[in-house]
Every structure is written in structure tokens, then in C-alpha cells.
Structure 1
Amino acid sequence: MSTSSDNNTQNDYVATTEEMLTKIITSSDIELITYNNTQNDYVATTEEMLTKIITSSDIELITYLSKLLIDTGRIEYDPKIVQIFENYFTDSGIQSSHAFSILSKSSSIPRYATLLGFFYQYGIGTTQNEELAFQYYQSAADKGDSFSMIQVGWYYDNASGNPVRRDAKKALEYYKKSVETGNHPQALCHLAYHEQNERKMFLMYEEAAIGGFRDAQRQVIASYRYGSGIEKDLHKAFRLLWKRIKEKSKWNFNELEYLKLFCLGGLM
């Protein structure tokens, strides 16, 4: 029986069998599995108890979904990720409600709570519930999950009263925590949005772009094109744009419009 592992930015978090057990089963479950043999007392090991409650394939499923969410989030903010999850469930023949059920049993594990928040936020395998989504993100953030810190910050950045009131100061606090905890490029990009100093803003975008966050890459291109926070350099802007074109095979409508405007600006 293998333990679950999810890759954090700075270190690998591996939930031991003991940790998984205490987070998944109740005391009544233990009483049910631990029983008295007629000849001698038999106490089931944690491995045996865990096997009776959650399978290794279940752990592998949630670990995969967690990695998918975090990896995508490190590249760009893309609402289409919901469709990616739905396509995965359809193609694999796995019910999203099954994944949700497993997550509900192991929500004390920070990265799993993050995924549970995502399921509630978009109604995957359950009814959409923004308040519960925020609660799980908050719980995971409090335990040090850098991605959930971004989500909590996003809620404070964009909320209109539900589940929280908009609070730019708190939003910035969580973005900064995410950068300090996991050096997350998306969090750095969010911080740049709020920066008033154009030079500092550009440097933040540049660092996030180097980290692989695509929205930051677009911002760096725009900075070189218009001379925002950096000396105007159309050739540098075009080289960066051309690099993006070669690296990305699919472009959405907004990106195509951006490319068209860029070309109309006289570079091509």
C-alpha cells in the first residue's frame, strides 16, 4: 500500500499511512476494524485499516488531480481547466462525485483541501458553493499551501460580499505569503497588478514570466512594446512574442487579437 505524495514547490509533502489514517477514518471505523479474536487479541495495523477504507487507486486518482490543478495554475489562469477535469472524468470513466467523496474524507491534508475547494468553487462532483470553496481554501492556506493562498487572495481581490468582503490589503497579504512560501509565479503576477511603481511592476512580471506564468509573459511583451517600466524595445518585444508563438500551438481569441494589434503596430 503506497502513501500519497504531492509535490510542493520547495519540498515534497508525503502523507504517511498514519497521517492518512487519522484524517480519513473515524473512531467508530477503528472499532469496527479492530476486533477481538477468540484465541488472542488481534489489532489491525494502520496499513490494514487504511486498505479497508480507501484504496491505493483512490489515492493515485486524487494525487493526479491535485498535480493537474497545481501544474496548470503555475502556467496560467485558465477557466478551461474545469473542462479539462470534466474531460478527464469522461475519458477515464470515473465519476467526479467519486473523487469528491474521497476528497471529503481526506480534507485535512492541505493539498487535498485545495482540490476540494476547487470542486466546490466550480461545482465539480457536487453542488457549487462559493462559501465552502473559500473555507477549504482558507483551511489549506492556514496550513501552508501556497496555491490556496493565491485562491484566498483572489477572493479578497474580487469578492462582492460573498463569501467575503473585498479587501485589497488582505489580498496582497495572501499573495505575498504565497510567494514567500512557494515562490508561486501566479501570486507574483497578482502582486504586480497592484504595484504602483512601473519599474517594480515590470521586474515582478519578468520574474513571474521566467517562472513560466503565461499572463506575466504577455505583460512583459507589452512592457517592452510600450516602454512601461523598461526602455521601449520593439525588437525585444517581437522576439519574446515570436517565442510564445512557437511554444504555444493553440491561441484563444484574445491572444489572437493581441497578436493582430501587435502586427498592425508596424513590426510586421
Structure 2
Amino acid sequence: MSRETISEKRQVQFIKWTKPAAHQTLPQQVITFLRNELILGKHVDHISASLLIWMKTNKHEINEIVKLIDKYTVNSAKKDSDEQDASIRWLLGFIYQYGVGTDEDEIDAYDYYKESGNTYNYLGLYSLGRCYQTGYGAIKETDMAERFYRGSAAQGFTPAIYNLVDMYASEGDGEQAFMLLKQTADQGDSTALCKLSSWYSRRKGVAKSEAQAINCLVKAVDLGNPIAMCEFGVRLLYGQGVASDERRAISLLRLASVFEIDTAYENLGNCYERGIGTDVDLREAIEYYRLAFRTARNDTDKTRYSTAIASVKAKLRVRTPGNKEFQSIEWMQPVHTSQSTLVSLETIPFSLSNRLNLQHANINATSFTNTIPD
């Protein structure tokens, strides 16, 4: 397994989309990347935190992006009417909301989102919906949030559809939420299939059906969805609703781990710790648990992974008493950070209609400032 760090992996990815293409300016490439991350189903706090991590080693590039965006916005001859300009204004809103290369500014973020939304830009409408849903930069107002989400969803932007599903479900309208979700899944949307699998499995708004849950999950796996790979891998590993197949389970978990999914790392760590489908390798187990810690989505998960690391290290010390090599391994030392270490999942190489996943966790990226356990 590669010892490549999370930030290094993110750096490689960001370098790819920051290289100017013949038909796109640098800001347009950033917009495309962020849009695709949202289509993947990633929470915006995950995405913004990824940008912040990348900035640690790529400050020059991010500053150039901000300069280009500012220059384009000031010099644009078609303000508020050009689709390209509207998307860049949305990006400025994103930059000000999450403090990417500048100070966070709630008012400026909302204003840029509004300018973008005024042109019926699907990204601007989506972010305005989030503003009104969460009360960011505006008074919290469900009706307004639904209105903007609908405008974005009407243009086929699936993140807006999922937020509508979540809104309907939270308001007690499970039937409407399920119908919208199933309609999207029937169109071959892998994120919808993953979410639908969860609904069938947890009896959420629909009669519980493990057969339907597994069927949806298998379809999402066939479409290349990394979350589905992780969830189906776990089922295969422990025989949950399907026949146990440890070899295939580990294969799927490894594929999912490429996209930095914490539960994939956790289960691989468990395999190496306990010798499930592979030989026992405590050092490898520790590294997987550390990667799970680095990509954890909340403090509860971070605590669980930290406990796992401590437990395996205790086992390793018992097996090799007085082993100085163990204490000197560089990759096992604490990683100190001055910013959030929260990382989003990687993008995955298949068509945009299927580049989707499951999670919509409510995450505050600024809370993830813990160092990795030593």
C-alpha cells in the first residue's frame, strides 16, 4: 500500500484541473471541478475543506485563481447576463463563504450567489436554496429554499433534487420524498440508487425490503459508485443479506478506499488487524485506521478510529517488546495541522449522470482540527 498522504493525493488531483485547457480559463476549470464534486453528492463542507488542504501546498495556484476571477469579474462586459459570468459569480460566492484564499464573508457570499441566481444559473439557485434552508446570509425560510432548489433541479442539477428529498422527508412528507428519489433512481442515477437502498434497508418512508436494498446497491456498484462499493463490500465481508465473499469484499473496499471513504479504510484496517480475508498485518491496520481518522466526517467517528489505532498499537507492542523500530517509524508519528484536516471523497472517472454518491452529512468543517493520534 502506498504511504502517500491524503494531502499529496489531493494535490495530484487539483494539479490536474488547475492546468489551463485550450477551451477553458482557470476559473472555469475550478467551477467545473466544484460542480462535479457536488454532483458526486459530496457535502459542500467536504469540498471546501479539500480546497483548504490543497492550498497548504499550492498557495501560488490558488492566489492566481482568485486574481483571475477578480480580474474577470471586474472586466466582464456582459455582467449578469452571460452564463459564464454567472458561474464565476457563483464561484466568488463559494470563495467568500468558505474563505478560500480570502476572509470568510457571509454578506458577500450571499450577494454573489444572488447575482448568479438572478440569471437563473443552476449553481446560483442551488446555493441560494442552501442559504435559505440553513439561514446563511438570509432569514431561514423553507418556502424560499424549496423554490430555489426547484429552479436548480428543473435544470437537471441532482444535488438540488437530493436536498428537496431531504427537505420533504424532514417535513414528514415521506411519500413525496420517496417518489422523487425513486424517479431519479429509475433514470440510472447512482446516488439515488444508493439512497434508495438505504431507504429500503432502514424502512424509511417505504416498506423494509432487504432484497430491494441489495438490488439498488448492486446497480449502483455496476455504475461505478464508490459509496456503493464500500457498502456492498461490507455486506460481502460480514455476510449481511448476501453470501460472505471475503476476497471480493476486500477488492471492493480497496476500490472504494481510492476515493478516501473513511468506512472503507476502517473495514480494511479491521481486515488486517484480525486477518479477515488476508494475513494479519498490524502496521497496515494502523495505517488504514489513521487514514480513516484523516477522512472522518464527525468527531464521534474520529474517536472510534483513534481508539482502534491505540488498540492495535498496544497489540504490536506486546508482540514486539522493546522494538525501537516501531517507535521510530515516521509515518506513525502525529500529524499536526493548523487548519481543518477534513477531506472529501475523490472524483471518480465515469459519466456525470453516474458520478454520484450517498452521503449528505451535516458537517462543520472547522470543527475538525484534531491531530492524528500517535
TM-score, normalised to structure 1, is: 0.61
Residues 2-13 of structure 1 mapped to structure 2, 5 A cutoff? 7=36, 8=39
Instruction: Work out the CA distance in 2 between the residues paired with 1:250 and 1:164.
Output: 27
- Give deviations 1:62-89, integer Å, cap 9, x for gaps: 44489xxxxxxxxxxxxxxxxxx68983
Change in Cα spacing, 1:263 to 1:91, as seen in structure 2 (3 Å) is same
Percent identical pairs in the alignment equals 18
Kindly state the Cα deviation for residue 217 of structure 1 after the two structures are TM-superposed: 1.1
Say whether the 8 Å CA contact 2:217–2:228 is kept in structure 1.
yes
Instruction: Work out the CA distance in 2 between the residues paired with 1:107 and 1:58.
Output: 11
- Give deviations 1:210-268, integer Å, cap 9, x for gaps: 122111111111111111112111011112333444x3588623431442244234246
Which amino acid in 1 is paired with 2:135? T
Instruction: Work out the CA distance in 2 between the residues paired with 1:95 and 1:116.
Output: 15
1:151 matched to which residue of 2? 195
Equivalent in 163, 166, 178 of residue 205 of structure 2:
163
Say whether the 8 Å CA contact 1:110–1:144 is kept in structure 2.
no
Equivalent in 97, 100, 103 of residue 149 of structure 2:
103
* Number of aligned residues: 196
Equivalent in 48, 55, 58 of residue 118 of structure 2:
55
**Matched position secondary structure for 1:91:** coil
Say whether the 8 Å CA contact 1:114–1:140 is kept in structure 2.
no
Residues 20-59 of structure 1 mapped to structure 2, 5 A cutoff? 55-56=118-119, 59=122
Say whether the 8 Å CA contact 2:194–2:228 is kept in structure 1.
yes
| Unpaired stretches in structure 2, ≥5 consecutive residues | 1-30, 41-82, 84-116, 237-243, 318-374
Which amino acid in 1 is paired with 2:233? A
**Matched position secondary structure for 1:61:** helix
1:207 matched to which residue of 2? 255
Which amino acid in 1 is paired with 2:136? D
The answer to whether the aligner puts 1:137 opposite 2:200 as a matched pair is no
1:89 matched to which residue of 2? 134
Instruction: Work out the CA distance in 1 between the residues paired with 2:125 and 2:189.
Output: 16
- Give deviations 1:29-59, integer Å, cap 9, x for gaps: xxxxxxxxxxxxxxxxxxxxxxxxx733663
Kindly state the Cα deviation for residue 208 of structure 1 after the two structures are TM-superposed: 0.9
- Give deviations 1:61-116, integer Å, cap 9, x for gaps: 344489xxxxxxxxxxxxxxxxxx68983332264521212234565536133331
Which amino acid in 2 is paired with 1:253? T
**Matched position secondary structure for 2:205:** coil
**Aligned-CA RMSD value:** 3.3
Kindly state the Cα deviation for residue 179 of structure 1 after the two structures are TM-superposed: 2.5
Say whether the 8 Å CA contact 1:118–1:133 is kept in structure 2.
yes
Change in Cα spacing, 1:57 to 1:94, as seen in structure 2 (3 Å) is farther
Instruction: Work out the CA distance in 2 between the residues paired with 1:263 and 1:194.
Output: 26
The more displaced of 100-109 and 196-205 is: 100-109
Structure of greater relative contact order (alpha carbons < 8 Å, 6+ residues apart) = 2
Instruction: Work out the CA distance in 2 between the residues paired with 1:64 and 1:179.
Output: 29
2:307 matched to which residue of 1? 260
The answer to whether the aligner puts 1:239 opposite 2:300 as a matched pair is no
Instruction: Work out the CA distance in 1 between the residues paired with 2:201 and 2:296.
Output: 32
Instruction: Work out the CA distance in 2 between the residues paired with 1:179 and 1:228.
Output: 22
Change in Cα spacing, 1:96 to 1:152, as seen in structure 2 (3 Å) is farther
Which amino acid in 2 is paired with 1:103? Y
Residues 164-243 of structure 1 mapped to structure 2, 5 A cutoff? 164-181=206-223, 183-195=224-236, 196-243=244-291
1:75 matched to which residue of 2? none
Change in Cα spacing, 1:242 to 1:106, as seen in structure 2 (3 Å) is closer
Instruction: Work out the CA distance in 2 between the residues paired with 1:132 and 1:194.
Output: 29
- Give deviations 1:186-222, integer Å, cap 9, x for gaps: 1111212321112211211111111221111111111
Instruction: Work out the CA distance in 1 between the residues paired with 2:211 and 2:266.
Output: 26
